[in-house]
Structure 1
Amino acid sequence: MSTRPEIVCICGSMQFAEDMRIVSQSLTLAGIIVLMPTEIDRPITDEQKAALGELHLRRIDLADRVMVVNRGEDYGESTLRESAYAEAAGKPVTFVGPAWGWQ
């Protein structure tokens, strides 16, 4: 019987969506299940934004570890909240991006 593949949740600003896709592809090819935010290409309400934020916390709940994708700029409020949530839940958090090297 095979074991369950590792599950990684990707976090980061949607301004780095292309970087998140690169990391996701690399992880997927390595046999890892990837959970990450979905790009929404239309305006959303404040209620929808809050609901999407909560949905992403549930992705973190499902993950074995969290990867924060960033280009070295300051982290936004949502990314800081997500990484703090993951750490409080005992999930390992790592940071990737051009400054740290890709996965």
Structure 2
Amino acid sequence: MPDRPEIVCICGSSRFVETMRLANRELTLRGIIVLAPGEMNGTVSESQRSVLDALHLRKIDLADRVLVVNPGGYIGESTSREIAYARAAGKLVSFTESDVRW
């Protein structure tokens, strides 16, 4: 038995917030620690966006692996950067839609 539960960081477009919530719930109920993107209502300034982007990279640092939520195979610019960051850090990256060319 592991010393601690697996830690998974969820990445994906904010347009898929409901799908990310479902993934969070499913993983949590399986005993996995989930690090998810911060959810913001309303407008976020550029400086706030920079803080949130940097914070999410730190979440990737803490994770054992990354799960990319990508309905329809969609991966946006920010998520692409997060995938590249995770891979450069040696993290395993998986996708909810398996037909992805990464």
Partner of 2:11: 11
Q: Which amino acid aligns with 1:3?
A: D
Q: Separation in 2 of the partners of 1:98 and 1:64?
A: 20
Are 1:71 and 2:71 an aligned pair?
yes
Of all paired residues, the percent bearing the same amino acid is 57
Change (3 A) 1:95 1:73: closer
Distance 2:32 2:58 in 1: 18
What count of residue pairs does the alignment treat as equivalent? 100
State the one-letter code of the partner of 2:7.
I
Output the aligned Cα RMSD.
2.0
Which segments of structure 1 move beyond 2 Å, counting only runs of 4 or more? 97-100
Asked if structure 2 preserves the Cα contact closer than 8 Å seen for 1:19 and 1:97, the reply is no
2:45 is the alignment partner of 1:45: yes
Distance in 2 (CA, whole Å) between partners of 1:98 and 1:25 is: 20
Partner Cα separation in structure 2 for residue 35 and residue 99 of structure 1? 24
In structure 1, stretches of 5+ residues that fail to align are none
1:71 CA displacement:
0.9
TM-score with structure 2 setting the length: 0.90
